[in-house]
C-alpha cells in the first residue's frame, strides 16, 4: 500500500508536546525554512511522549525533521531522494495547521516524457527532484487529521496546504525499516 494511517490514542497530546519543543527549544518559527532538521539529542530530551510511542512500536528514531510550509507557491510535485531509488519509509506527524491540508501521491504516466524538471541538493536537506507535473497522475492522497501516516517519500508527491499557515509536520526516520507497516494485510 502507498501509505498506512497509525492509530495513536494520544495523537494530539503528542503533537502539542512537539509544538512546545519547536517554540521553546528551536528557532524554526523565526525562519521561513521549509526543511528543519532538529538536534536529535535535544529532541529526545524534550519529547518523552513521542519517544515512548515509538518505543512501543519497537522503533528507534534517528532523525526528526520539521517541515514548515509558509508559502503555498513553493509546493510542487517532487521526489525525495534519487529517482528510481527507494528511500526508507518514514512517519509523517501532524503538528500545527495540518487540518484541511493533504499530501497528494502520484504515479508516472506511461509515456516517454522525461519526468525530471530539476535536481536539487541542499546542504541542510536530503536530495530532492522536481517532477514535471504533466508526467504524473494523482493516484491517492492522505491527511494527518486523525493520526500519523507511514509512507514512502521516494514516490512523487506534493503537499496541498490549507488556508492557515504555517503548516508544521514532523518527518521521522528510524533505524528499523518500516516496510512491514506498508505490507498489505
Ligand atoms: Fe517530500
- Split into its structural domains, the chain has a count of 1
E-strand stretches of 39-89: 61-69, 78-80
Measured CA to CA, the distance from residue 96 to residue 140 in angstroms comes to: 23
Q: How far is the CA of 173 from the centre of ligand 1 (A)?
A: 13
Measured CA to CA, the distance from residue 1 to residue 93 in angstroms comes to: 18
pTM summary value: 0.92
Q: How far is the CA of 9 from the centre of ligand 1 (A)?
A: 26
Cis peptide upstream of residue 166 (ω within 30 degrees of 0) = yes
Give me the CATH number covering residue 141.
Answer: 2.60.120
Q: How far is the CA of 14 from the centre of ligand 1 (A)?
A: 23
Task: List per-residue pLDDT tens for the chain, 185 residues long.
Answer: 899 999 999 999 999 999 999 999 999 999 989 899 999 999 999 999 999 999 999 999 999 999 999 987 658 899 988 777 888 999 999 999 999 899 999 999 987 777 887 777 665 566 788 899 999 999 999 999 999 999 999 899 999 998 899 999 999 999 999 999 999 86
Does the CA dihedral 64-94-106-174 come out positive or negative? positive
Range of the structural domain that residue 134 is part of: 3-182
Grid cell 519517544 is found at 51
For the CA atoms of 171, 172, 178, 182, the dihedral, rounded to the nearest 10 degrees, stands at -30
Amino acid at each position: 500500500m502507498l501509505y498506512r494511517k497509525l492509530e495513536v490514542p494520544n495523537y494530539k497530546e503528542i503533537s502539542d508536546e512537539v509544538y512546545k519543543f519547536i517554540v521553546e527549544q528551536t528557532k524554526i518559527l523565526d525562519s521561513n525554512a521549509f526543511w528543519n532538521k532538529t538536534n536529535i539529542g535535544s529532541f529526545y530530551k524534550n519529547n518523552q511522549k513521542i519517544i515512548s510511542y515509538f518505543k512501543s512500536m519497537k522503533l528507534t528514531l534517528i532523525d526528526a525533521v520539521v517541515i514548515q510550509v509558509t508559502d503555498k507557491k513553493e509546493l510542487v510535485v517532487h521526489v525525495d531522494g534519487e529517482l528510481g531509488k527507494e528511500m526508507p519509509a518514514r512517519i509523517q506527524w501532524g503538528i500545527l495547521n495540518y487540518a484541511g491540508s493533504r499530501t497528494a501521491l502520484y504515479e508516472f504516466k506511461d509515456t516517454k516524457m522525461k519526468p525530471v524538471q530539476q535536481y536539487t541538493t541542499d546542504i541542510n536537506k536530503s536530495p530532492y527532484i522536481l517532477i514535471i507535473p504533466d508526467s504524473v497522475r494523482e493516484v491517492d492522497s492522505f491527511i494527518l487529521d486523525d493520526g500519523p501516516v507511514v509512507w514512502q517519500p521516494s514516490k512523487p508527491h506534493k503537499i496541498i496546504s490549507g488556508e492557515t499557515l504555517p503548516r508544521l509536520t514532523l518527518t521521522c526516520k528510524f533505524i528499523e525499516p518500516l516496510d512491514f507497516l506498508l505490507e498489505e494485510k
